[in-house]
Chains A and B, each alone.
Chain A
Amino acid sequence: MTFSTIQALVLRNLFLYTRTPVRLVELVFWPLVDLLVWGYLTVFLQKHTGDSFPYQITFLIGAVILWDILFRAQQGVALYFLEDVWSRNLLNVFSAPVTNADYLASTYTIGLLRAAVTSLLLSVLAIVLYSFNLFELNWTLLPFVFNLLLFGWSLGMISTALIVRWGPAAETLAWAVPFFIQPFAAVYYPIDALPGGIRWIAELIPCAHIFEGMRDGLKDGAVSWADLGKATGLNLLYLFLAGMLFVRVMNTAREKGLLTKFVAQ
């Protein structure tokens, strides 16, 4: 892994965002829409249920913010590859001295930066608009957020690997993959809300434990070490498996000439 190469690849994306401010809309606009919709739904329910307002509903706002961290991290990895496809720059990058590790490290960095921009903005707006303070979790927020980043990176690598393997027609997977798992990820409701027969799927998804832990933490201020431990363990496993998949698909792409097919489109 070479620092200057990673720095160059990150710089390319930073140039892209500063050169094309309209891209910031994508980082800000959709998350903001989510926050407003779920936030005002929460306010509405709060007004109409009075004292019987279930505390879990407040966490919808936290769920929106934390889900977006995962989604932006995944997008950072998956869209990075597509940016090179769209700009016909793919062969310039892959014929340059860039290792798989350099490439992945730069996509992780972009994912981290994207998640940081969006989550900070949403967190501040949540305090201002709804008096919902995610930072009440204090330092315990960090391992939760870090775990979401890890899972976002894994999903990003899986998305990219599938796009490389199946070609430009599979581009839509860059946006779709996180939503494949969302119903089982306990983002807006606890794992217990799922039918008994499919709860095992949620148990295998790291972010389900993060959202469970977040709800527990915000409810009684205690860290759910069991949830954090499960999420971290699963994340390390998935990160390893996604990395293996990415490397394997890149090798297959070189054997089958798949990268050149993106240029021919």
Chain B
Amino acid sequence: MESPVLEVNDLVKEFGAVRPVNGVSFAMRRGEILGLLGANGAGKTTAINMILGIVTPTSGSIRVFGRDLARERIAILRRMNFCSTYTQLPGNLRVWQNLTVFGKIYRVPNLKRRIDEVLELLEIAHLKDRVSGNLSAGESTRLNLCKALLNKPELLLLDEPTASLDPDIADKVRKVTKRIREEDGSSILYTSHNMRDVEEVCDRIIFMHQGKILFTGTAEEILDHFKEDSLESLFIRVARGGEIETAGESVTSAT
């Protein structure tokens, strides 16, 4: 059996008395799009920051491509990439300049050609010479995605990639997400508050609440188990009540 691309084992993060991530374990298969869902403060971003090596876990382990992140962070990060709605590329550089800088950091071969490819893929090739700070929110998000795709990452972390996008651009981003999985075989960890995104894009969902995994499964499995019509209504039920915690720990195995 193929080893998981990402293996998170009993992950805990404490900031003083606060425990935003509290014993999280899951694994991701190669080529899988895994949704990480949860209300604000559920621990998603802290978990992603730990997987990126920006935050050190208090305890637990993270293995990426079968290697220990704590020991081989740089070698692992070369094969990963990341895009978040909360980060931007320097606004005073031109689009091609920003992509050149990150392409060199990730040691992308045939960089000029690759830059053209990702700009074409995200349909912003015409913006190549534009100053990044003058782009619209949608164009800026797509530029961030271009940066995240430059090195054809085997593991891609997308943190709310469609936040603040209009439905048309959000649809394009979802389609690109699925396309890169199909073409490059990338595994994608995807967080979003947009339930439509998650239902459309993700093969499997991890639902986090107060630092713990409440349940995992496909959207259908989860809706069927909790007898809800939509992930959105389930999301609201979890966020407002917490009664779901007694309804069942897991629809399917966490891995």
Query: Are A and B co-members of a single complex?
Result: yes
List residues of chain A with CB under 8 Å of any chain B CB.
2, 4-5, 7-9, 11-12, 15-16, 19-20, 83-84, 87-92, 94-99, 251, 254-257, 259-260, 263-264
Tell me if B49 counts as interface (CB < 8 A to partner A). yes
User: Which of A11, A20, A90, A256 meets B15, CB within 8 Å?
Assistant: A256
| B102 with A257: CB separation less than 8 A | no
Tell me if B91 counts as interface (CB < 8 A to partner A). yes
| A5 with B104: CB separation less than 8 A | yes
CB-defined contacts of A8 to chain B, threshold 8 Å: 100-105
| A88 with B77: CB separation less than 8 A | no
CA distance A91 to B52 in the complex (A): 9
CA distance A7 to B88 in the complex (A): 21
Chain A facing B: main interface SS: helix
Tell me if B234 counts as interface (CB < 8 A to partner A). no
| A12 with B106: CB separation less than 8 A | no
CA distance A83 to B90 in the complex (A): 8
List residues of chain B with CB under 8 Å of any chain A CB.
13, 15, 45-46, 49, 52-56, 74-75, 77-78, 82, 84, 86-94, 97, 100-107, 131, 147
| B105 with A97: CB separation less than 8 A | yes
With known contacts A99-B74, A254-B55, A256-B15, A92–B102 Cβ distance under 8 A: yes
| B97 with A19: CB separation less than 8 A | yes
User: Which of A15, A89, A255, A264 meets B97, CB within 8 Å?
Assistant: A15
Q: Looking at A5, A257, A260, which has the most chain B CB atoms within 10 Å of its CB?
A: A257
| A97 with B91: CB separation less than 8 A | no
CA distance A5 to B104 in the complex (A): 6
CB-defined contacts of A94 to chain B, threshold 8 Å: 54
CA distance A20 to B100 in the complex (A): 18
CB-defined contacts of A4 to chain B, threshold 8 Å: 104-105, 107
CB-defined contacts of B101 to chain A, threshold 8 Å: 8-9, 11-12, 15
CB-defined contacts of A255 to chain B, threshold 8 Å: 55-56
